[in-house]
């Protein structure tokens, strides 16, 4: 029996937040704004513009308020931001953000290292966050970090992920991301956990968020599609990492993922050429990238070369 691939996938660009939060220096507001506007111009319909967290914890995100007030919004694009507590929600809404994302780790060790609270304590605090957001007309989504593995505890049992998802779901959150924070996931694990979570929570819109630490992110995306997931995060130029997760390296490069979808005949609605150009600009700004497409070009780039050889 042949695999039934999705006709279309939904893509979220997390570069302005997850991609930049681990860089040794902070991009200017002007460059962050250009990154967000460039992603929208390329056809991205969901963009994570930054995070509203304590500036001492993640100094690269200290200017997210100004970024949110500055960039030009494109109609039909969802702009969301990561928040950790009620203060973050208040800042986000005051800056014009209308969708916030709450994140909690499936691992107690990582939760304490990241936010100095247990997962249960964090979710308890989310009650006032979700109530305030909804009372003020904002949407709420969620993310479960270290869903596939923890740098302190190793493999995370699926039952722990299911428990966290259930608690988030009880808060009325019906959009959740399974996040591979340190790139520990493998395709079989992704297929099994994604299949289980979709069966347990059929009304949830599931996203998958992979880091390419061990080179398995694209394979994990394929496994996620095989399980029925159609929503994925990526980061321009393959930037990213978590300051509180040892060994966490970049996200899967957006341009690599979109290129793969294009080659598979799966629609994204995104202009690959514009994304590659934007990723190259970001690479020049920060001085590095982890992107196969930026190194080798697209498969389509090889066609003229082949034709030229035949003419000789």
Quick one: pLDDT band at residue 307, thresholds 50, 70, 90? low
Residue 118: Cβ-neighbour burial (10 angstroms; 0-12, 13-18, 19+): middle
- Write down the pTM of the prediction: 0.94
- For residues 110 and 145, the answer to whether their CB atoms sit within 8 Å is yes
- For residues 225 and 195, the answer to whether their CB atoms sit within 8 Å is no
Summarised one tens digit per residue, pLDDT across range 21-49 is: 989 989 999 999 999 999 999 999 999 99
Measured CA distances, 191 to 65, 199, 263 (Å): 38, 12, 22
Stretch 207-218: mean pLDDT, rounded?
A: 96
Sign of CA dihedral 256, 261, 267, 273: positive
Summarised one tens digit per residue, pLDDT across range 254-279 is: 999 999 999 999 999 999 999 999 99
Tell me the pLDDT of the chain averaged across its residues.
93
Count of other CB atoms within 10 angstroms of residue 171? 16
In terms of Cα–Cα distance, which of 302, 258, 304, 285 is closest to 8?
258
Please give the structure tokens belonging to residue 281. 């600009």
For residue 308, is pLDDT > 60? no
Highest mean pLDDT (candidates 67-71, 151-155, 247-251): 67-71
Sign of CA dihedral 105, 111, 113, 114: positive
For residue 56, is pLDDT > 60? yes
For residue 161, is pLDDT > 60? yes
- For residues 208 and 233, the answer to whether their CB atoms sit within 8 Å is yes
Range from 160-174, 186-200, 229-243, 250-264 carrying the lowest mean pLDDT: 229-243
Q: Annotated active-site positions, please?
A: 242
Cα end-to-end distance, the chain, whole Å: 43
Checking phi first, is residue 172 left (phi over 0); if not, alpha (psi -120 to 50) or beta?
left
| DSSP label of 253 | B
**How many residues does the structure list for the chain?**
312
Range from 77-86, 108-117, 147-156, 208-217 carrying the lowest mean pLDDT: 108-117
| DSSP label of 245 | S
Strand 231-234, strand 10-13: pairing: parallel
| Cα(210)–Cα(216) distance, integer angstroms | 9
- In DSSP terms, 233 is beta-bridged to 12
């Amino acid at each position: 029996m042949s695999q039934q691939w999705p006709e279309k996938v939904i893509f979220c660009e997390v570069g302005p937040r997850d991609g930049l939060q681990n860089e040794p220096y902070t991009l200017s507001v002007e460059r962050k704004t250009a990154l967000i506007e460039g992603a929208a111009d390329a056809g991205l319909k969901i963009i994570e513009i930054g995070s509203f967290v304590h500036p001492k914890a993640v100094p690269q995100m200290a200017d997210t308020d100004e970024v949110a007030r500055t960039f030009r919004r494109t109609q039909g694009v969802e702009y969301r931001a990561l928040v950790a507590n009620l203060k973050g929600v208040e800042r986000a809404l005051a800056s014009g953000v209308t969708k916030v994302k709450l994140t909690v780790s499936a691992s107690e060790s990582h939760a304490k290292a990241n936010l100095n609270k247990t997962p249960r304590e964090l979710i308890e605090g989310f009650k006032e966050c979700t109530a305030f957001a909804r009372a003020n007309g904002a949407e709420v989504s969620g993310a479960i970090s270290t869903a596939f593995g923890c740098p302190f505890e190793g493999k995370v049992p699926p039952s722990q992920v299911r428990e966290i998802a259930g608690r988030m779901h009880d808060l009325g959150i019906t959009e959740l991301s399974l996040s591979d924070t340190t790139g520990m996931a493998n395709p079989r694990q992704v297929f099994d956990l994604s299949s289980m979570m979709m069966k347990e929570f059929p009304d949830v819109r599931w996203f998958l968020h992979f880091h390419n630490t061990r080179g398995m992110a694209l394979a994990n995306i394929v496994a996620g599609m095989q399980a029925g997931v159609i929503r994925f995060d990526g980061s321009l130029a393959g930037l990213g990492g978590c300051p509180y997760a040892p060994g966490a390296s970049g996200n899967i490069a957006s341009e690599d993922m979109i290129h793969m979808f294009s080659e598979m005949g799966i629609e994204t609605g995104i202009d690959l050429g514009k994304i590659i150009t934007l990723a190259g600009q970001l690479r020049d700004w920060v001085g590095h990238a982890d992107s196969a497409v930026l190194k080798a070009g697209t498969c389509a780039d090889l066609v003229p070369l082949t034709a030229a050889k035949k003419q000789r």
